[in-house]
A and B are shown apart, each in its own frame.
Chain A
């Protein structure tokens, strides 16, 4: 897999100046004279081809791809594609998959990020590339969660975002492997350590963590409940706080209740920007680990193996065609805009 995370370190090093902390989508944008739906889509989605999202959400304004808005037009910028599907009175085989997803892991999985996050954008593209294409819709969970075999037992949900991939080939395999199929990683992001800019400790190996108070949002380590998912050794001297949302970790960091925050590079930088903490927080360059986000499907699901096959074969096709990198680049560009 090609990594483009050098971009991330570049982003981190450039996190200077006051951040533009406004939302990226689900906002109203004041059009400038001569701007077309394509221009607006480029600005807000880093993708001019998504001009149809703009026109569908603003039926009274410009409707053509190149038709200009009037100066001062209030253009609503939706976070997701307009719903073109009809009502639910369709035969079962035509309905898509329902994904349980944690909110607040921007820019990867978030209902307030274009296309509902990079992860969902990649997943939708992968499912559409596969031999028997499917669509997916999202059931949002207010916060990140640990993967629980019971949570997909209901009839509506088909799969869940898993924020860690257990080593199912190890012996003995973790208990969660008996209950779920896991797809290949949809995204892989370095897990970084964030500290106050004036922190007087360095981080070169996990041994440096001894005696520190760490914060990691609950669910972001999401191994199964009986497995230690943290990428640091079990150490009595490490104190760990696990609030529900990333913002809470950074609040604790600024109030000196913790010494460092462990969070994936993208969610970390996006949260810092949204909170306007660019100058007060730094990230250590050495990753704690590589965090992967993937799909989990219950093994007792009626189409469990074919869902996993669709995701994996779709991802492989996206990588082969270069579309995978295009989608990642688009979201990185949006994140870049947000940081500056």
Chain B
């Protein structure tokens, strides 16, 4: 079972007949860091699909785009079926939470071809996660939450186990004993996908770079919310030792523009996301990938918060589902569906 929270029109149908009840029901609500409308709807009404109603009621505060909601905004929360009353944190047990929306799976757009609301099935990894969970835990169910504030994913959403799982996450070098928050807070599933982390540079400078050591002291662009641990691998410590200047704008498209303008020396991104960004910006040919000298070999995973009381069980469920869909051919079909258009566009 799968529910995609955003864009579900029939959510409104559920509101028919709802009337205001007691005076203590509804009222002002201050948005917490990392919360989305669907999360608030889930928390206050136990139904994430009511986010559209919340948005409609608060259009003047949030604006037309639900993604524009930010922590600290004060929403007016309507009373529906007597909820929420007294606007305090509802105390819902994990079992109850799981029974209502199933597993809460966290992702964000901007990871094309892996995760993006505008892609079919939400992208390659979204389709794999959906198929694996459907395979392994059809009764539990799951809901994919698109929360575009990527910087809130690790902390607080995952580190505090406000979500049950997240994707797509590259594997950090935890075996090196680094005290990275990605290692301390998260458990990683079996790998779903493997790719190269590359540098993308202006075409006229590509030939001049003969070694990754040439990038010391240079300005590298990596979109905000993308982990940077790949830049500290294979004997390099670019970020932890400040050997490069890291630029972190909101979107990969911003990185493309910075490289085109000469304000960044390279965009550092996985080969797939990077090529999608170049294509969307019409910058193919003007910016080239240094394919012969990858920064790292990266794998993509589902993560589960270590703080989650059922962390091991959830991870086990996902891994079993992943193995099963690899064996029954579903995994291959998903890869074909999502990667064929990617390579045809290249």
Whether A279 is near chain B, meaning CB under 8 Å from some CB there, is no
CB distance from B131 to the nearest CB of A (A): 14
User: With A153-B332, A300-B335, A300-B339 as given contacts, are A306 and B297 in contact (CB-CB < 8 Å)?
Assistant: yes
Q: Does A2 contact B (CB under 8 A)?
A: no
Residues of B within 8 A of A4 (CB): none
Interface centre among A93, A155, A300, A309 (most CB of B within 10 A): A300
B297 near A302: Cβ-Cβ < 8 Å: no
A132 and B332 alpha carbons, distance in the complex (Å): 23
Report the nearest B residue to A299, measured CB to CB.
B343
> Does A91 touch B at the CB level, under 8 Å?
yes
> CB distance A155 to B323 under 8 Å?
no
How would residues 295 to 321 of chain A score, 1 for a CB under 8 Å from any chain B CB and 0 otherwise? Answer: 000011111011001101000000000
Contact A155 B332 (CB under 8 A): yes
Contact B344 A300 (CB under 8 A): no
Chain B residues lying within 8 Å of A300, measured Cβ to Cβ, are: 332, 335-336, 339-340, 343
B299 within 8 Å of A by Cβ?
yes
Chain A residues with CB under 8 Å of B196's CB are 305-306, 309
Give the distance in Å from the alpha carbon of A277 to the alpha carbon of B161 in the complex: 74
Chain B residues with CB below 8 A from A299, complex form: 339-340, 343
Contact B195 A305 (CB under 8 A): yes
Cβ B329 vs Cβ A302 within 8 A = no
B326 on the A face (CB < 8 A): yes
In the bound complex, residues from chain B placing their C-beta under 8 Å from that of A93 are 190-191, 299
Q: 1/0 per residue B312-346: CB within 8 Å of A?
A: 00000000000100110101100110011001100
- Which residues in chain B, 283-314, are within 8 Å of chain A measured between CB atoms? 291-292, 294, 297, 299
In the complex, whether A92 has a CB less than 8 A from a CB of chain B is yes
Contact call A302/B194, Cβ cutoff below 8 A: yes
Q: Using a Cβ–Cβ cut-off of 8 Å, how many residues does chain A contribute to the interface with B?
A: 18
Q: Are B297 and A92 in contact (CB under 8 A)?
A: no
CB neighbours (8 Å) of B297 from chain A are 131-132, 306, 309-310
| Residues of chain A contacted by B193 (CB below 8 angstroms) | 302-303
Q: Does B192 reach chain A (CB closer than 8 Å)?
A: yes
Given contacts A178-B344, A300-B336, A309-B294, contact A155 B299 (CB under 8 A): no
Q: A92-B190, A131-B234, A309-B294 are in contact. Are A155 and B335 (CB under 8 A)?
A: no
Whole-angstrom CA separation of A91 from B171 in the bound complex:
15
The CA of A155 and the CA of B193, in the complex, are separated in Å by 14
Q: How far is the CA of A305 from the CA of B197 in the complex (A)?
A: 11
| A237 → B minimal CB distance (Å) | 40
B271 within 8 A of A: yes
Cβ contacts A216-237/B at 8 Å (1 or 0 each): 0000000000000000000000
Whole-angstrom distance between the alpha carbons of A275 and B332 in the complex? 44
**Among candidates B191, B234, B326, residue contacting A155 with C-beta atoms closer than 8 Å:** B326
Which of B297, B326, B340 is most buried by chain A, counting CB atoms within 10 A of its CB?
B297
Q: Are A155 and B331 in contact (CB-based, < 8 A)? A: yes
- Inter-chain CA distance A299–B340, complex, in Å, is 8
A221 to B292, CA, bound (A): 29
Task: Give every chain B residue within 8 A of A301 (Cβ-Cβ).
Answer: 335
Residues of A in contact with B (beta carbons under 8 Å apart): 91-93, 131-132, 153, 155, 178, 299-303, 305-306, 309-310, 312
> Beyond the given A92-B323, A300-B343, could you list 18 further A-B residue pairs with CB under 8 A, ordered by the A residue number?
A92-B190, A92-B326, A93-B191, A131-B297, A155-B329, A178-B343, A300-B339, A302-B191, A302-B193, A303-B194, A305-B271, A306-B195, A306-B297, A309-B196, A309-B291, A309-B294, A309-B297, A312-B292
> 29 A-B contacts, Cβ less than 8 Å apart?
A91-B190, A92-B190, A92-B191, A92-B323, A92-B326, A93-B190, A131-B234, A132-B297, A153-B332, A155-B329, A155-B331, A178-B344, A299-B340, A299-B343, A300-B336, A300-B339, A300-B343, A301-B335, A302-B191, A302-B193, A302-B194, A302-B331, A303-B193, A305-B271, A306-B195, A306-B196, A306-B297, A309-B294, A309-B297
Lowest 7 CB-CB distances: which A-B pairs, in order?
A303-B194, A300-B339, A132-B297, A300-B335, A299-B343, A300-B336, A306-B194
